[in-house]
Amino acid sequence: MASLYDFTVQDIDDQPRALEEWRGKVLLIVNVASKCGFTPQYEGLEALYRKHGPAGFAVLAFPCDQFGQQEPGDAEEIRNFCSLTYDVSFPLFAKIRVNGPEAEPLYRWLKSEKAGFLGTEAIKWNFTKFLIDRDGNVVRRFAPNDAPAKLEKDIVALLG
């Protein structure tokens, strides 16, 4: 795959969604989990989405159970948790793997585009964030402990 927009992923309802749907938008792609110390970041992610969505920003959340089994639920449990606990309105996708031979192809591409700390590609934990510009380029990779509010200036700069 040469471009972000070449990927198709499964949404939380197990329906295919072409990332072409988000062409021209600034994106924050995040691997999420419901039972993680960083789970309260859903609140900040939702705040960014609501504030900047009208200007062309979207959060795409990919549940992942690879780190401490912190996303044990099925799609319905994940959807309900996100809705009832954090009033999440941004798109949720099917549970994926982000590392290893069964890693979601989108995540293999994201990691190859923007390495992490000390040049490592592997995702270290839940709530690793990839910031994508309007042309589908991976601009920056943020660590799990980078709070969503800390990303706002970078998002605003890309929104222009």
Catalytic residue ranges: 36
Sign, Cα dihedral of 98, 103, 104, 107? positive
Measured in whole angstroms, how far is the alpha carbon of residue 56 from the centre of its chain? 16
Q: Residue 44 contacts by C-beta under 8 Å, 6 or more apart in sequence?
A: 147, 148, 149
Q: 132 vs 39, 107, 159, 160, CA distance in Å?
A: 22, 13, 11, 14
Count how many residues are written for the chain. Answer: 160
Helix, strand, coil percentages for the chain (3-state, nearest 5) = 35, 20, 40
